A and B are shown apart, each in its own frame.
Chain A
Amino acid sequence: MFKKKSKVRASKKRSYMSELWRNYKKNPSAMIGLIIVVVIIIIAIFAQITLDYNQDIVQQNMKERLQKPSSEHIMGTDQYGRDVLVRVLYGAKYSLAVGIISVAISCLIGSSLGLIAGYYGGVIENLILRSTEVFMGIPSVLLAIAIMAAFGQSLFVLMLAIGLVYVPMFARTARAAVLPVRDEEYIEAARVSGVGDLKIIFSHILPNSLSPIIVQVTMGVANGILTASHLSFLGLGVPVPAPEWGAMLSGGREFIRDYSFLTFYPGFAIMITVLSFNLMGDGLRDATDPKLKQ
């Protein structure tokens, strides 16, 4: 009798991911998003391995400056004679790194705060919620700008800034996900049988409130990439001459009348990347909660 029961439970546990995947792959636009994301990751890795930063990416070649797209330079060359295609491909790494690492930061801090707030309730919950309100009152781009101004301009600070900006969102998502679970009987049972708070949060509450956090992570990567490109465009993000897409776009701005490809391609790259993460997020939301699907 007991044996049978535990078997059922084990198979249920294993099937969360496969269930998610089964629902996810039914959705064609979500699959397109996933495939593009995988392709972009492969491009970023290959560009990192095969290209030399000093020679291929930042070295100037004034003889070949501002050439229109041709078979030799498919996306043309920029005002310093650097190949735009190569720079765009290499630039994938910055957007992905900023998007993923900043989300890791905000997810780690935000979800922990949210879980704590939701689990303990009372004064702690109030305190955490009020502080998220404070940070959400500042428009995200301006908050990121202020953090960049405070800690100086570098790739690392950019990740940190964007990560911190999106902490409140994760905190609220995680808290909202805990609320329906926290009064369940199995939580009560765990507490009565002497399981510690931390263990309850991580092994009983977190798995049951995982779905909204997973969706938020994917959407967060898209938002993070967009905000980072915003800052770089304004000259407050990744410092030049790194081929960050927002910074490339900003550099090509003054040549837009005659050399519009300098602004077009980096922006297009940003859009495709953000779009595919958004498609994935939408797909995951539908897959984690088929009831919401409309």
Chain B
Amino acid sequence: MLRYILKRFLMMIPVLLAVSFVVYFLMDLAPGDIVSSMAPADASEADIERMREELGLSGNIFERYTRYIGNLLRGDLGMSLSMKRPVINVFFERFPATLKLAFGSIFIALVISIPLGISAATNHRSWIDGTSMVLSMLGLSMPSFWLGLLLILGFSLKLGWLPSGGSGFFSAIILPAITLGAAQAGNLTRITRSSMLEVTRQDYLRTARAKGVAENVVIRKHALKNALIPIITVFGSTLGNALGGAVAIETVFSWPGVGRLTVAAINVRDMNLATGCIIMFTIFLTLTLLIVDIAYAFADPRIKAQYSR
């Protein structure tokens, strides 16, 4: 098992390097030369070249990328030109807010989708099933920023119950988390339902029923445990969707997270900051996916057995 974990971690390194290179390369293509816009108007070619060297921006893309990664490993992502502060500091200042929002939304999605998915499956082809399928389809099809604006309109502007933006107090997270959770809930409800339907067809459930186990115990103890395994597998992609969706939701609710920061950075052409944010986001997501994979192997004895040599 330890060997499996180690192997997965080692395999992760080239992926991380490739991902960060893709982002670095794309952002490098973006128009706007930082150095010439920073340099004073009367700077000579030689001055600009010297500045380029000082900022670590000389050389071809591979040289610059290698330097960038080297600095990254030392915890240095360069300076944010718009904020006049190190990118890494700005990022870690904002990152907790994004994480809070992402996990809040996943929590809400799970609270909605698991009961809904189970009752849809156990009442297969009934009106409960139909309603939950319609709801989950709507959740999947709604643009999340639109839902967010409608919630702001209803709950903060008309009813005045919840704040429409900001952070720092608990009630501020409710609307953004619901907004971001709705789309995840749509997906998770469908997954819970279909995996529950799959499980209820298995022989061991028939055995349990045949030996006289009460129906609700069959569902709770025998079916649910197995039906929830796919939910763990999609946790990684759910988190990825939540983090990606957070970009728009943070803008809607003025939530002080990394998503809004990234968009703002691109709008003012602070490419250093934008690149740093996207790369850090991606590294975080990749590592989380790996941890989920390992946790999954632990949770499912069938998979654990494959690697326990």
A146, B20: Cα distance in complex, Å: 12
User: Which residues from A are CB-within-8-Å of B14?
Assistant: 130
Total A-B pairs in contact (CB under 8 Å)? 134
A139 pairs with B281, CB closer than 8 A: yes
Q: In the complex the two chains form, is B141's CB within 8 Å of A275's CB?
A: yes
Counting CB contacts under 8 A, is B266 at the interface? Answer: yes
In chain B, positions 134-168 with a C-beta closer than 8 Å to chain A are 137-138, 140-143, 145-146, 149-150, 152-153, 157
Say yes or no: is B289 at the interface (Cβ < 8 Å to chain A): yes
Q: Report B11 CB to chain A, min CB distance, Å.
A: 9
Q: Is there a chain B Cβ closer than 8 Å to A147's Cβ? A: yes
C-alpha gap A278/B15 in the complex (Å): 32
Docked-complex contact B18 and A134, CB < 8 angstroms: yes
Judging by beta carbons under 8 Å apart, are A142 and B247 in contact?
yes
Residues on the B chain within 8 Å of A141, using CB = 244-245, 247-248
The winner among A149, A234, A274 for most chain B CB atoms within 10 A is A149
User: What number of A residues sit within 8 Å (CB to CB) of B?
Assistant: 44
A267 within 8 A of B: yes
Q: State which of A139, A146, A233 has its C-beta within 8 Å of the C-beta of B145.
A: A233
Interface size of B as a range:
35 or more
How far apart sit A256 and B18, CA to CA, in the bound complex (Å)? 43
Given contacts A146-B278, A150-B30, A256-B149, A134 and B141 within 8 Å (CB-CB): no
Segment from A53-61, A84-92, A222-230 that makes contact with B: A222-230
- Whether B141 and A222, one on each chain, are in contact in the complex, defined by CB atoms closer than 8 angstroms, is yes
Contact partners of B248 in chain A: CB under 8 A: 141, 230, 233-234
Q: Which of B15, B146, B241 is A137 in contact with, Cβ under 8 Å? A: B15
Inter-subunit contact A271/B27 (CB<8 Å): no
Our pick among A130, A142, A234, A271 for the contact of B146 (Cβ within 8 Å) is A271
- Tell me which residues across on chain B come within 8 A of A149, comparing CB atoms: 26-27, 30, 266, 271, 274
Query: Quick check: B18 and A131 within 8 Å, CB to CB?
Result: yes
Query: Given A141-B245, A145-B266, A278–B141 Cβ distance below 8 Å?
Result: yes
**Is B210 interfacial (CB-CB < 8 Å)?**
no
Partner-binding segment picked from A107-115, A170-178, A257-265: A257-265
Which of these, A134, A152, A270, A279, contacts B143 with CB under 8 Å?
A270
Q: Which residues of the other chain, A, contact B262 by a CB distance below 8 angstroms?
A: 142, 145
- A253-B128 Cα distance, complex, nearest whole Å: 35
Q: Are B157 and A267 in contact (CB under 8 A)?
A: no
- Closest A residue to B282 by CB, please name it: A138
CA A53 – CA B217 in complex, angstroms?
63
**Extra A-B contacts (15), CB below 8 Å, given A138-B285, A249-B143, A282-B137:** A130-B14, A130-B18, A131-B18, A134-B18, A138-B19, A138-B22, A139-B243, A146-B26, A146-B278, A150-B28, A226-B143, A236-B266, A249-B146, A270-B146, A271-B146
Task: Please give the residue numbers on chain A whose beta carbons come within 8 Å of chain B beta carbons, in ascending order.
Answer: 130-131, 133-135, 137-142, 145-147, 149-152, 222, 226, 229-230, 233-236, 246, 249, 253, 256-257, 260, 263-264, 267-268, 270-271, 274-275, 278-279, 282, 294
Between-chain CB contacts (< 8 Å), 13 pairs? A130-B14, A137-B286, A139-B281, A140-B244, A142-B244, A149-B271, A150-B26, A234-B247, A234-B251, A246-B143, A271-B141, A274-B142, A294-B193
